[in-house]
Chain A
Amino acid sequence: MQKKGAAKQISAWSQFLSQMSASPDKPEALADMVVLDLSYANFSGTVAASFLAEAGAEVIKIEPQEGDPARIMTPFGANVKGVGIPFLMESRNKRHLALQLDEPEGRENLKRLAARADILIETYAPGEMDSWGIGYRQLRELNPGLVYVAISPYGHYTARAREFANTPWTDLTSQAESGLTALIGDLPDTPDPYNWPTRAGFYAAGYTTAVGAASAALVASFFKRRTGEGQMVDLASADAYASCVGFPPTIGSIWKKPRLRYGTLDYGLCPYGFFKCQDGYIAIACFRDQDFRAALKILGRWKLEEDWKSLLDRITDDIDKVKELNTEVEKAVAPYTYKEIAEKFSEYSVKAARSKWRGGGLPVTTKMLTPKEVLEQDHWQVRKTFVKVNHPVFGLVTLPVTGKMSKTPLRVKWISANIGEDNEYIYTKYGLQGKSP
Chain B
Amino acid sequence: MAEDYFSFTGKLFDRKEIFQKPEALKGIRVLDLSHMIFGPTAARFLGQYGAEVIKVEVPYQGDYWRGGTYWGKYWKHSNPLWHFINHSKYFVAIDVKKPKGKELILKLAQTADVVIENFTSGTVEAWGIGYSQVSKINPKVIYASLSTYGQSGPFRFFPGWDLLAQGASGVLSITGYPETEKYFKVPDFFGDFFPGYFAAMLMLIALNYREKTGEGQYLDICQAEILMRSLFHFTHLEATGEELGRTGNIDPTMAPSGIFKTKDGKFLSLAIATDKQFRSFSKAIERPDWAQDEKYAKAFSRLKPENARKLHDEVAEWINLKEVREVLALGRKYGFAVSEVMDDVQISEDEWRRERGSVVSFEDEMYKKLVMEGPIAMLSKTPGRIKWLTRPLGYHNRYALKKLLALSEAEIKELEKERVVGYWDYRVGQRPPVYYDIRKDPVFNYEGGDNH
Contacts and interface: CB of A to CB of B under 8 A. Distances in A.
Contacts of A434: none
Interface string B336-356: 111111111111110111011
Contacts of B268: 176
Nearest to A313: B72
Given A232-B380, A368-B172, A285 B236 contact: no
6 contacts: A9-B125, A78-B236, A222-B204, A231-B379, A251-B348, A371-B243
Interface string A25-36: 001011010000
Given A232-B380, A242-B347, A267-B70, A137 B183 contact: no
B59 interface: no
Interface in B33-78: 45, 49, 64, 68-73, 75
Interface stretch (B91-99, B104-112, B161-169, B398-406): B161-169
A332 interface: no
Contacts of B252: 75-76
A145 B45 CA distance: 23
B174 interface: yes
Interface residues of A, number: 179
A116 interface: no
Contacts of A172: 251, 254, 257-259, 269-271, 337
B436 to A, nearest CB: 18
B426 interface: no
Contacts, number: 600
B19 interface: no
Contact of A366 (B160, B194, B231): B160
A176 B340 contact: yes
Contacts of A73: 253-254, 273-274, 299
Contact of A225 (B49, B181, B212, B335): B212
B174 A246 contact: no
B164 A402 contact: no
Contacts of B5: 126-127, 130-131, 135, 137
A362 interface: yes
Contacts of A214: 201
Given A212-B376, A253-B371, 18 more contacts: A29-B205, A72-B299, A74-B300, A167-B335, A168-B273, A197-B269, A201-B246, A209-B376, A244-B193, A245-B187, A371-B174, A371-B237, A373-B170, A383-B150, A397-B235, A406-B218, A407-B215, A408-B217
Given A158-B356, A243-B376, A222 B228 contact: no
A199 B45 CA distance: 27
Nearest to A267: B70
Interface residues of B, number: 177
A200 interface: yes
Interface in A194-222: 194, 196-204, 207-209, 211-216, 218-222
Nearest to A374: B170
A368 B245 CA distance: 13
Given A164-B332, A176-B259, A403-B202, A370 B243 contact: yes
B445 interface: no
A235 interface: yes
By secondary structure, the B interface counts as: mixed
B290 interface: no
A393 interface: no
B282 interface: no
B377 to A, nearest CB: 3
A242 B373 contact: yes
Given A168-B274, A259-B344, A371-B173, A176 B154 contact: no
A281 interface: yes
Contact of A182 (B238, B342, B376): B342
B358 A239 contact: yes
Contacts of B64: 287
A239 B232 contact: no
Contact of B382 (A169, A219, A281, A404): A219
Contacts of A276: 181
A160 interface: yes
Interface stretch (A14-22, A93-101, A416-424): A14-22
Nearest to A6: B126
Given A193-B249, A197-B267, A76 B303 contact: yes
A75 B244 contact: yes
B182 A264 contact: yes
A240 B177 CA distance: 24
B151 interface: yes
Nearest to B331: A167
A72 B243 CA distance: 19
A168 B335 contact: yes
Interface in A141-183: 153-164, 166-173, 175-183
A249 B216 CA distance: 37
A32 to B, nearest CB: 6
A184 B246 CA distance: 13
A252 B230 contact: no
Contacts of A164: 332
A364 B160 contact: yes
